[in-house]
Chains A and B, each alone.
Chain A
């Protein structure tokens, strides 16, 4: 939640043409030794005295904490729609439904009829079921009070009222009382004919009051000693419910004591520096209620309900205003429950019988001198509706730079069309910069003082922006303090100077800044940057003395810082401030620097960041160059030799014929003949396999087949040749 608060402090709308990101830090203030009283009935002299004392303290303090609180806006509506839109078109529980619907009701958001019908149906179901839980009945009645469901049919409400009355009788803990009495009050509003009055209102009042503690907090039940502020809020609501439902009078002393308890509760209130008050609980109980938002919301609900039933409470206006400021300072909460608590509490504060807080807000806190913006101030209730007739006065203006405050005491004019108070012209002496404006609200009708809380002096931060003129801007190259070259510049326009210098010379750069009211201006940033062509950068802050901004770069001393890199350096000037409308970052030109060579042990310039596209991007495509084909002989020559190779084979065959080969030894009987044929066939097959091997087969297939064939061939050959051998043996022996 702290994060949300500081975020709201940083949102300031358009802060002008700021080249650098300016963060507004949360500044602390010293505690004032006295308290500003909110009632505007103090006379003018008193105001002067207060003003003087304020001035003295302000002179001693460092800064005032000022903040802008804006009433509920469209951002809350859109957040409500986002956080509370029910998944699958139905609310998961009646508790969630009651929270969502209450938020929508306050913010003026309509829900669809389908959702309305389905929720009303679940309400009727819950009321007619015999649930032993008063919590369900309470939430069902709450939902139906928002949606205006028809629950008066039959004796539904009557039956529920009787059950709730039983619950009241049997109630032991604070939450039991809360749900049952709350339910009865809701029935009273919706179905007025049903009898909901409590017989023993006095007794019930006492039993709830017994759970209170002396420090203003309440316990949940008599067994558990832990107390919380959230419980206090619930108890106050319950007790005001009992007062509504009484059939006989409750002892007036009890109510008086209760009001004193409420005042005691405010003794424990916590405070932020910017005037927001809140309650915080230290422990987390089983139902998960924790944190300042829920506790403060519960207390606000309780005390406004109590004030509406039993007359006003004596609570100082600044505390009520502080509670309103707390809820508005949250901004837009991130969870549904926080948003519900915030909106519910603000709705209670919007119209209550204690004091209605009036919020002073600025639609725009950044004013431009150039466009002659007028300061506009809006005074509304927390939900944004118009307040009573009143006048707003600008009392003081604090400047952030200097420590004094000028006393203005000027009344703002009321514009009826826009319902804003307008300051015609900015006070004299308000120049470009940050200011804190202190406003005071004066109600037109003195009777309204008892109804509204205006909160004394309200301080708001205001930024005044304007165009800053640059004058006398020039850049010079100095040779032992005498000007060698001088070039006038035209800032903040474009410039392109070309200078040259060596390491014995100096570069001087100077300019003056003037605000629209002819005052000297000191910007947040004034930087001169020199960038070498290889990418190495050097930045220098331009210092100022009074009006003049000047920096002198002595290259003799900077040679080592520049890593001895000679060459072309680009010059760039940056002048920026949040209040400057024409902050600029301008290249001024370049300077050719001639530095001596780097000695052996000097530092290397830092490596420049690698261009990721060069390193990780696609590389240039490589064109592969294939080895050129070997020169082959002409085809005719190859064919000729192919023919020529067969010539010896032919000669061999012819020679065989001439020698008279015959087949006489070929076996004639069948089996040996068959073997012989198979032998020759096998050899031919192996040679054929070799041919196939050369043409397309691989070695493994060939070897496998060869193995098979070889075995066959061996067997067949053995038979054939052994037959031949035995035949020739027979011939020899014969």
Chain B
């Protein structure tokens, strides 16, 4: 007897299919995804701290959050450029993209450090 398809089963099926599809991605993209998740989590923790103690040194809070968000965004850009399935950036060597990533990160962090106070 075939069970009727419940939402719960659908969610499970969706989750598993996503997981299996995801495992097919190249390792370097997975590294970048992990980095992005790490950055976002750090930002969330900072927001939680601010929610608890108040936003007195607001500049510090902003710089912290912006640092995480900025680096996450740059990592996403790197992922886009490095992804071989992306036809737009076919001719761009991945080392070049990485060099851009490093440079932009350094500039971002200079600004962040200045704003940190």
Contact = CB atoms under 8 A, between A and B. Distances in A.
Interface of A: 630-633, 637-638, 641, 644-645, 647-649, 651-652, 655-656, 659-661, 683, 686-687, 690-691, 693-694, 699, 702, 706, 710, 717-718, 721-722, 724-725, 728
B38 A632 contact: no
B12 interface: no
Nearest to A694: B113
Contact of B106 (A632, A647, A686): A686
Interface in B46-88: 46, 48-49, 52-54, 56
Given A633-B53, A652-B35, A660-B27, 11 more contacts: A648-B41, A648-B45, A651-B38, A661-B31, A683-B102, A686-B106, A687-B109, A690-B113, A694-B113, A702-B110, A721-B96
B110 A706 contact: yes
A699 B31 CA distance: 34
B56 A632 contact: yes
Contact of A644 (B45, B53, B98, B110): B45
Contacts of A638: 53
A647 B46 CA distance: 12
Interface residues on B, range: 20 to 34
Contacts, number: 74
B42 A717 contact: no
Contacts of B45: 641, 644-645, 647-648
Majority SS at the chain B contact face: helix
B42 A645 contact: yes
7 contacts: A630-B56, A652-B37, A655-B34, A659-B34, A694-B116, A702-B110, A721-B96
A652 B38 contact: yes
A649 B38 contact: yes
A706 B107 CA distance: 10
Contacts of A721: 95-96, 98-99
Nearest to A729: B93
B61 to A, nearest CB: 12
Contacts of A630: 56
Closest 7 CB pairs of A and B: A633-B53, A652-B38, A648-B41, A721-B95, A725-B95, A641-B49, A690-B113
Interface of B: 27, 30-31, 34-35, 37-38, 41-42, 45-46, 48-49, 52-54, 56, 93-96, 98-99, 102, 106, 109-110, 113-114, 116
Contacts of B42: 645, 648-649
A266 B109 CA distance: 115
Contacts of A717: 99, 102
Given A645-B42, A648-B38, A651-B38, A659 B106 contact: no
A693 B30 contact: no
Contact of A725 (B37, B48, B93): B93
Nearest to B34: A655
B88 to A, nearest CB: 19
B40 to A, nearest CB: 8
Nearest to A690: B113
Residue of B31, B110, B113 contacting most chain A CB atoms (<10 Å): B113
Nearest to A652: B38
Contact of A690 (B41, B52, B98, B109): B109
Nearest to B64: A645
A227 to B, nearest CB: 101
A560 B72 CA distance: 88
Given A656-B34, A687-B109, A694-B113, A722 B95 contact: yes
A84 B39 CA distance: 103
